[in-house]
Chain A
Amino acid sequence: MIYLQGIKKSFNQLPVLKGINLKIEKGEVVTILGPSGSGKTTLLRCLNFLEKPNAGIVQIGNIIVDSEKATKKEMLAIRKQSAMVFQHYNLFAHKTVVENVMEGLIVAKKVKKKDARHQSERVLEKVGLSDKLHHYPSQLSGGQQQRVGIARALALNPEVILFDEPTSALDPELVGDVLSVIKSIAQEGITMVVVTHEMSFAREVSNRVLFMDEGVIVEEGTPLEIFHAAKEERTRRFLQRISGESFFTPLKEQVN
């Protein structure tokens, strides 16, 4: 379970998060939508203290941290509750695929090397990369790299996996692969918070959709409520703009 209370964050006096309150139940898949600059990625990064909030309380599982007086030890403890999948994958460049997945298990979770290797291989099989165990990230396609990123997060068996625009840096034809992997782990009941621009993913996979703008959560609800009966004008305008783009997709397909 995740619980946020009064999360505030500014960069150089520019407020990016203006007091976020949020509760996420175990097993929930929550997507965060919003225009760029709305603070959705910052919110996600505040959850594992890659950004330290200026104020507010962060709770993940049974670890509670008051961000104003968060110590290094507390930040480490809360980071161990979560794992993150990055937009630009951020795989450890000097480690092979299997070593990337093992690293957190060995170093942070103190799992024995042999056990870590078994676990890692099992997770990599799940994301369809059994044949790439000893490749370096530079030898993989973007989609494969991101699946390693997902495996790295999954292997830690965290309370929650945070996805920061996991498909934004991918070639369009590779997006599907990665999304289907994320879908399949969503169905296993792992708690996930996903910042994304993939509306179809938000609609099909998430239990709850948050719409953020200008540092606040404007509206939240089930995908059905948000996509078909948004209460707020700002939400409707945003979704219209997005669907306006997808209006052309069938045309593009015809051209191809």
Chain B
Amino acid sequence: MGKAFDLMLIIEFIPTLIQYLGITLQILAASIILGLVLGIAAAIPRLYKIPILNQLVILYVSFIRGTPILIQLFLVFYGLPAILLLLFSIDITRMEAIYFVIITYAISNGAGFSEIFRAAIRAVDYGQTEAAFSVGMTSRQNFFRIVLPQAVRIAFPNMANSVIGSLKDTSLAFTIGVMDMMGRGDTLIAATAHALEVYLSLSIIYYIIVVMFEKIFSKLEKYFNRYQKADVTAVA
């Protein structure tokens, strides 16, 4: 155990820790954007039942869902340099740890997003597509003008949950040496031996950020639901 508990330290640690919020948000933003791209790419073979690719995506999604993100992080951190060196003689062992974190979270988010997109696109009433065809739209026009906007509304609450989950998961990045808020907390504990106070400060910061995200998402959700009946609107 560390030293005697000191309530004031919780407040004192916050400014030090919050300086590293930027890194946390960078990891989050980069992995969400890459995850979106990956998620769309992975949803297409599932929606159009493209042979082989479809099975690969199913395997990818089930593997990501079935393994802890911490292990995925280590697999990427140790595995990716080994594979690249072996196959392409590319040496990335000196690449900064943060990139491994971003890659891991992008792969993880991509799996989740692909399922969310697939379900959302399937959930749009086929009558909408028939109506689009009946007024002379092409498949592409139907997809981008009619189906996608409605799928976004359906997908949004799940996406928002994923983003918040992902934000919290970034706290694992310090395990491979990334100096994010959690990493800085780790060094603070080593320096001061006030572990409990550091973790309380961290939880306060994470909690406030998550609540802010939730507020923003709930506003966005209201916007996306503007054309739904009032009694259907589900604001968490």
Spell out A's residues near B (CB within 8 Å).
48-50, 72, 76, 79-80, 82-84, 86, 88, 90-96, 103-104, 107-109, 136-139, 152-153, 156, 162
- Closest partner residue, chain B, to A45 (CB atom): B130
- Partner among A48, A49, A86, A108 whose Cβ is within 8 Å of the Cβ of B137: A108
Give the residues in chain A near B153, CB-CB below 8 Å. 94
Let me know if A83 and B134 touch, CB within 8 A.
Answer: yes
Question: Bound complex: CA of A103 vs CA of B144, how far in Å?
Answer: 13
Give the contact stretch, choosing among B8-16, B106-114, B198-206, B226-234.
Answer: B226-234
Q: Does B135 contact A (CB under 8 A)?
A: yes
Let me know if A92 and B134 touch, CB within 8 A.
Answer: no
| Chain A CB within 10 Å, residue with most, of B132, B135, B150, B229 | B135
Let me know if B229 and A138 touch, CB within 8 A.
Answer: yes
- Closest partner residue, chain A, to B131 (CB atom): A90
Let me know if B133 and A107 touch, CB within 8 A.
Answer: no
- Partner among A79, A90, A138, A153 whose Cβ is within 8 Å of the Cβ of B227: A138
- Closest partner residue, chain B, to A81 (CB atom): B136
The 9 closest A-B pairs by CB, nearest first: A104-B135, A108-B136, A84-B134, A90-B131, A80-B136, A90-B127, A136-B227, A138-B229, A79-B136
Give the residues in chain A near B132, CB-CB below 8 Å. 92
| A130, chain B: closest CB distance, angstroms | 20
| A150, chain B: closest CB distance, angstroms | 13
Give the residues in chain B near A82, CB-CB below 8 Å. 134
Let me know if A103 and B145 touch, CB within 8 A.
Answer: yes
Let me know if B136 and A92 touch, CB within 8 A.
Answer: no
Question: Bound complex: CA of A93 vs CA of B128, how far in Å?
Answer: 8
Question: Bound complex: CA of A91 vs CA of B169, how far in Å?
Answer: 41
Spell out B's residues near A (CB within 8 Å).
125, 127-128, 130-139, 141, 145-146, 149-150, 153, 226-229, 232
Question: Bound complex: CA of A93 vs CA of B137, how far in Å?
Answer: 16
Question: Bound complex: CA of A48 vs CA of B136, how far in Å?
Answer: 9
| A229, chain B: closest CB distance, angstroms | 36
Given contacts A72-B139, A88-B127, A96-B227, 19 further A-B contacts (CB under 8 A): A72-B138, A76-B138, A84-B131, A86-B131, A90-B128, A91-B131, A93-B150, A93-B228, A94-B149, A94-B153, A103-B145, A104-B135, A107-B141, A107-B145, A108-B135, A136-B227, A138-B227, A138-B232, A152-B135
Question: Bound complex: CA of A152 vs CA of B141, how far in Å?
Answer: 17
Give the residues in chain A near B232, CB-CB below 8 Å. 138
Question: Bound complex: CA of A94 vs CA of B147, how far in Å?
Answer: 10
Let me know if A48 and B133 touch, CB within 8 A.
Answer: yes
Give the residues in chain A near B127, CB-CB below 8 Å. 86, 88, 90
Let me know if B133 and A79 touch, CB within 8 A.
Answer: yes
Q: List 6 A-B contacts (CB under 8 A).
A: A82-B134, A83-B135, A94-B149, A94-B150, A104-B136, A108-B136
